[in-house]
Chains A and B, each alone.
Chain A
Amino acid sequence: MALSGMRGLSVFISDIRNCQNKEQERLRVDKELGNIRTRFKNEKAMNPSSCSWKAFLSDAMVVISCKGTKVGLIIFLHHMHNNKCQSSLAKFISAEFRCEPLTGSEKRNRGHIWHLVTPSLPLSTLEGRGQFCSRFRRIVGLSPYEKKKYVWKMLYIYMLGYDVDFGHMEAVSLISAPKYPEKQVGYIVTSCLLNENHDFLRLAINTVRNDIIGRNETFQCLALTLVGNIGGREFAESLAPDVQKLLLQTAREEEGCTVSPASFQKKIQMWSDRMAQLLDERDMGVLTSSMSLLVALVSNNHEAYWSCLPKCVKILERLARNQDVPQEYTYYGIPSPWLQSNYSLCFELLLHWTCNKGKAEIYLRNFDFWHELGDTDSWCSREQREGVGLINRLNIKSLWWLLDHGCDIDALINLTLQVKTMRALQYFPTVEDPNTRRSLFEVLQRILMGTDVVKNVNKNNASHAVLFEALALVMHLDAEKEMMSQCVALLGKFIAVREPNIRYLGLENMTRMLMVTDVHDIIKRHQAQIITSLKDPDISIRRRALDLLYGMCDVSNAKDIVEELLQYLSSADFAMREELSLKAAILAEKFAPDLSWYVDVILQLIDKAGDFVSDDIWFRVVQFVTNNEDLQVTEAASLKAREYLDKPAIHETMVKVSAYILGEYSHLLARRPGCSPKEIFNIIHEKLPTVSTSTIPILLSTYAKILMHTQPPDQELQKQIWAIFSKYESCIDAEIQQRAVEYHALSMKGAALMDILAEMPKFPERQSSLIKKAEDSEADTAEQSAIKLRAQQQTSNALVLTDQRPANGTPPVSQLGLVKVPNMSNADQSTAEQGLTHANGALTVVDPQPPSTPSPDLLGDLLGPLAIEGPSGTAPPQSEPRVASGLEVGANEDALAIAPVEEQANTIQPIGDIAERFHALCLKDSGVLYEDPYIQMELSLVPETIPPRAQVQCPLEVINLQPSRDLPVLDFSYKFGTHMVNVKLRLPAVLNKFLQPIMVSPEEFFPQWRSLSGPPLKLQEVVRGVRPMLLAEMANLFNSLRLIVCPGLDPNANNLVASTTFYSESTRAMLCLIRIETDPADRTQLRMTIASGDPALTFELKEFIKEQLVSIPVPSRPPAPMPPQARPTSPPLAALSDPGAILAGLL
């Protein structure tokens, strides 16, 4: 062998092997690299005058032989035949080395030029000879042997993992050597050291091209191998025509074919004819390579290669029959399974393309191709005569073959072929024929059942390779359910076997099966087995099992599977946790039977693998908890969060989510042991030193919330929290600083804090990003071809790696801040939510009511009385400054609904008269309060965001504290696109809304009336300028004001007596009595007397009624048609009864 005698290399390798440690090895390598570098450098820096000689000498073999003190320098020069050259070289050597030419006899014997040297150097010692040699080399340059040796050493060093940053040039230059050994080394080392992006490779292009177009077959092989292995774009561009020519001319198809797909995919259009020829080849090597080429070509452009299809069938057939397959190409009795596999792949590709096309087109195209092929193929021409398309022909042919050989199961080869051919049949339109179909399934069945496990591992592997290939094909066939269940049963058998490879492939194929067909139910039967595989020691199997579990999960088994995954998570190795937790999260969300289960699962997940739970996931939990009205869920969530906080070391994500939930809802737990605000605060605050800056803002918000919920305020806690706020007011992080400053300022406001930090409104329902991702990738896969599908679905790991982490570490955005920070710039959320908050997060309710509470702060007063903590800004306070006593309960069922309307307008004008609507609502319980092209506000509440075309109801609760005529004003604004709309709306929470009509009997009325004697409890006033109206009209008006007219109390028919009950926080239930005396002669004036137990109430009520009478606020309502005489009055009662007289007297 050419390479056997490379002693230097062997020595070097043994030196390396003998190195005791890495350090020694490095030293040895460095020494060698230094040596090689000097050698190469010397060669480059050679004396130009000797260059011409160098060319000869580097081509020559130089041997130094030693006889006593005489040393022979023998130079073999192959190409130097002419005497002139010889003599001039002789002179050169004599001069350089001071030596004499040898005598003629020996010269003749050798037949080469040689010199005997009588050197000045002491050549008798080893050292001396070494010096001589190196001097010689310095002059003549490196011998090819040395070059090779050094280049191999370089490769070895490179392989050991050391950087080799020089010598590429030498490796490349070896390619241009004229001799095979050097060339070969050059090619191999170059293809190992360099890749297609390397600049040095350009230097080689020309040489490679020369080798390709040259006549030396061996060199062509080498060159083509290089091109095939590392050929990049540049190679392809410059060499494609030559390789193509070569392929069409010479016998070197084998290399050419394999090279081509790697390099020249772009220039393939005219190759199809040649391809067809290649497929006629008998040599298996050529065929295999040709198939590779064909697969590459077909996958690129199928249309040109139709002519090859029948050839493929033929070859498969030949292989299947085991005809003329040379012994050396059989592998454990199976003729060249790799070739078959290639063919099948090609076949699939061709057929795949076919099925994507319309029937007509296929027929047409095929017919054309057969036509072109003409007589070259006999059965094709028959085909033409028959006028039937290729497809039919192919089907029939395949079927023949199948019928002939289908039962010959002994030959393992048949397996692949049968399945593939049948798959082909399935793709073609004519398989509807029941006979064909029946026989097809018969054979399929035989395949599925026919592969036995044998002792020989290799044979077993080979036959199973074929079987799995077959199984994959059965899946692509739209087989009947029976067949599918058979496959699943087979796979079920596989996943239970001990042999790991088979089990692995069983799981893998089962997962694939899930994607392709609807066999969930059958696969579910194997769930226990699959879960066992999840605990397999082999990570590959576990991964497959995980994939399969993930795929087979649905509502019915989600709970089991997710619990299994969670349980496994704690013992799973690190490499799998990320994927596992993501999958568990997706499944939990997708198939959660109830929300508290979901919350529980995610909290467990965070607890067990917090690192892998992205922000998306915990955002989602918070969303669920917030949006869920079921108090139990929120309570359960906060309770669990509290429990997790007790653990000594918890993950930061857990801190975030617990802090958030407890901040919002811990007050619900206040009565439980260990859940007082103070305890909650302490336990959360413990975590503060351990968390990162992204978590601190959340904690600050939590503190603010805790502070807010602690009513009455706990001074100590307040102090503690304020201390924290003031500490972070100088924090370098802007977000933290802002929050600290704001919360600090806000919490100074006392009770007002409660409204600003009101409970978060519901989040808009949106699809989970996780599920969306998962679904997207699934939707994609649905459209993939069978082959791509396989790839897609199995790269679920890739999905895990690429998709899930970006959210981690980003600072918490307003989305989940405890205090809603409106992001005005976000045009997407063009709904009312932004309108309800100011940029600074403060409220927008503005009440003109002068403040009455001790605090002079406007904000505090406005917000103080709010009974609800709905979305800030929608709660209109109703406050009355005066008296504090009396009745309670004043719930108003009015509510606001805000519905964005979709039209667009440049300027926004309210539709209808706002004042009119207001007045109408004063007397009604519900209706439209405000409307413009974008928004309609009804009395009925506002969520944070309103999805398009949706309507949301937001109940608004108003509690009256004190009697007052003043109206709450809702400063309402929202943003639609870039339009900012701001409207101040008076809320129709007028005094009468807090009245409850009560019919009193004379027995109740008169004592009360009498007991309330004179001002300030009883006030009388003559009102002038009243809008004239009939008595019945007035009675109606009073009734609509909830002052119920009690007929029969006043004997005078021109008078009205009404009663009602007023409710407010301060007065409690308070009976009010009203008497109106009208003058039938002058309807523009009347006298009214109001009596109640509360001076303020009496006054306010009097003023209120006066307002109502003076300007009648009911333009929309037609006057009541009731005639005055219909008014049932009872004069006799008035006349006879004592109370009537008393009343008259009193008046």
Chain B
Amino acid sequence: MIRFILLQNRQGKTRLAKYYIPLEESEKHKVEYEVHRLVVNRDPKFTNFVEFRTHKVIYRRYAGLFFSLCVDITDNELAYLESIHLFVEILDHFFSNVCELDLVFNFHKVYLILDEFILAGSCKKQARSYDIRCRRNHRENGELEKQE
């Protein structure tokens, strides 16, 4: 099960954080700090897996952004590694050529996409295109705001 997912840049700024286990605020900050410390200085030639407390962080770096998944020790590492990539492909598909700024200014959308992708700590969608139903809903319900 995915314990949490973090998107952080090289400076340790959190661009997205989603926890699937109940954690206290202070604990969350600590976790974010520690995970950043853990992954940021790792050479690109290193493995994508780091032990973190009693779990395992599977991370992947895209430009200046680290996508880190904290998973159980028994989980299949490579499978999660590829699910990160799939998530990035989805984002890429959605934002068309995604960059960090897209994620910064549209963090709320990233949250929406993430909710479509991971639910309750497990990947639920493996379709590459962002869910059509969801977009349709957003469009329908958002019409009025667009007029603003």
Residues of A in contact with B (beta carbons under 8 Å apart): 1-6, 9-10, 13-14, 17, 61, 63, 76, 145, 152, 155-156, 159-161, 163, 179-181, 184-185, 188, 191-192, 195-197, 218, 225, 228-232, 254-255, 258-259, 261-262, 284-285, 288-289, 292, 326, 328-329, 331, 336-339, 341-342, 458, 461-462, 464-465, 468-469, 500-501, 503-505, 537-541, 543, 787, 790-791, 794-795, 797-798
Judge whether A501 and B77 touch: CB under 8 Å. Answer: yes
Judge whether A5 and B79 touch: CB under 8 Å. Answer: no
- Residue among A192, A254, A331, A338 with the most chain B CB within 10 A? A338
For B142, list chain A residues within 8 Å (CB). Answer: 1-4, 181
Q: Which residue of B lies closest to A339 (CB)?
A: B126
Judge whether B141 and A180 touch: CB under 8 Å. Answer: yes
Segment 50-80 of B: residues with Cβ below 8 Å from A:
50-51, 54, 72-74, 76-79
- Residue among B49, B83, B129 with the most chain A CB within 10 A? B49
Q: Which residue of B lies closest to A229 (CB)?
A: B120
- Would you give the shortest CB distance from A419 to chain B, in whole angstroms? 13
Give the contacting residue for A284; candidates B20, B42, B126; CB below 8 A: B126
- Would you give the shortest CB distance from A65 to chain B, in whole angstroms? 11
Segment 17-61 of B: residues with Cβ below 8 Å from A:
17-20, 22-23, 25, 29, 32, 42-43, 45-51, 54
29 A-B Cβ contacts within 8 A? A1-B109, A1-B138, A2-B142, A2-B145, A3-B108, A61-B144, A61-B148, A76-B144, A152-B108, A159-B15, A159-B16, A163-B25, A181-B138, A181-B142, A184-B138, A192-B17, A229-B20, A261-B120, A288-B124, A289-B124, A331-B86, A338-B123, A462-B78, A500-B46, A500-B47, A501-B78, A539-B50, A540-B46, A797-B54
Judge whether B145 and A188 touch: CB under 8 Å. Answer: no
Q: Mark B110-127, 1 if CB is under 8 A from A, else 0.
A: 011001000111111111
Given A2-B145, A195-B19, A292–B47 Cβ distance below 8 Å? no
Judge whether B42 and A159 touch: CB under 8 Å. Answer: no
In the complex, A500→B48 CA distance in Å?
8
In the complex, A56→B133 CA distance in Å?
30
Q: Give how many B residues have a beta carbon under 8 Å from the other chain's beta carbons.
A: 66
In the complex, A168→B42 CA distance in Å?
37
Judge whether B111 and A192 touch: CB under 8 Å. Answer: yes
Judge whether B120 and A259 touch: CB under 8 Å. Answer: yes
Judge whether A10 and B105 touch: CB under 8 Å. Answer: yes
In the complex, A254→B141 CA distance in Å?
23
Given A161-B32, A180-B140, A790-B73, A537–B43 Cβ distance below 8 Å? yes
* Interface contacts beyond A336-B126, A461-B81: sample of 15 additional A-B pairs, CB < 8 Å, sorted by A: A2-B139, A2-B146, A5-B146, A9-B108, A61-B144, A145-B148, A180-B140, A258-B119, A258-B122, A331-B126, A458-B82, A465-B77, A500-B47, A794-B73, A798-B54
Judge whether B47 and A501 touch: CB under 8 Å. Answer: yes
Residues of B in contact with A (beta carbons under 8 Å apart): 13-20, 22-23, 25, 29, 32, 42-43, 45-51, 54, 72-74, 76-79, 81-83, 85-86, 104-109, 111-112, 115, 119-129, 133, 137-142, 144-146, 148
Judge whether A195 and B23 touch: CB under 8 Å. Answer: yes
Q: Which residue of A lies closest to B142 (CB)?
A: A2
- Would you give the shortest CB distance from A453 to chain B, in whole angstroms? 13
Judge whether A787 and B79 touch: CB under 8 Å. Answer: no
- Would you give the shortest CB distance from A988 to chain B, in whole angstroms? 65
Give the contacting residue for A790; candidates B74, B86, B107, B145; CB below 8 A: B74
Judge whether B14 and A159 touch: CB under 8 Å. Answer: yes
- Would you give the shortest CB distance from A18 to chain B, in whole angstroms? 12
In the complex, A1096→B65 CA distance in Å?
99
Judge whether B73 and A501 touch: CB under 8 Å. Answer: no
Give the contacting residue for A160; candidates B14, B25, B42; CB below 8 A: B14
Judge whether B104 and A341 touch: CB under 8 Å. Answer: no
- Would you give the shortest CB distance from A147 to chain B, in whole angstroms? 12
In the complex, A254→B115 CA distance in Å?
13
Given A218-B137, A285-B124, A225–B119 Cβ distance below 8 Å? yes
For B128, list chain A residues within 8 Å (CB). Answer: 328
Q: Which residue of A lies closest to B23 (CB)?
A: A195
Give the contacting residue for B120; candidates A262, A342, A464, A539; CB below 8 A: A262
Give the contacting residue for A538; candidates B46, B78, B81; CB below 8 A: B46
In the complex, A141→B110 CA distance in Å?
29
For A10, list chain B residues within 8 Å (CB). Answer: 105
- Residue among A180, A197, A228 with the most chain B CB within 10 A? A228
- Would you give the shortest CB distance from B126 to chain A, in whole angstroms? 5
- Would you give the shortest CB distance from A322 to chain B, in whole angstroms? 15
In the complex, A232→B124 CA distance in Å?
20
In the complex, A225→B114 CA distance in Å?
11
Given A179-B141, A458-B82, A185–B108 Cβ distance below 8 Å? yes
In the complex, A510→B95 CA distance in Å?
42
Given A160-B14, A195-B22, A464-B78, A538–B47 Cβ distance below 8 Å? yes
- Residue among A9, A160, A181, A254 with the most chain B CB within 10 A? A181
- Would you give the shortest CB distance from A367 to chain B, in whole angstroms? 33
Judge whether A192 and B18 touch: CB under 8 Å. Answer: yes
Judge whether B108 and A188 touch: CB under 8 Å. Answer: yes
For B112, list chain A residues within 8 Å (CB). Answer: 184, 188
Judge whether B73 and A540 touch: CB under 8 Å. Answer: no
Judge whether A229 and B119 touch: CB under 8 Å. Answer: yes
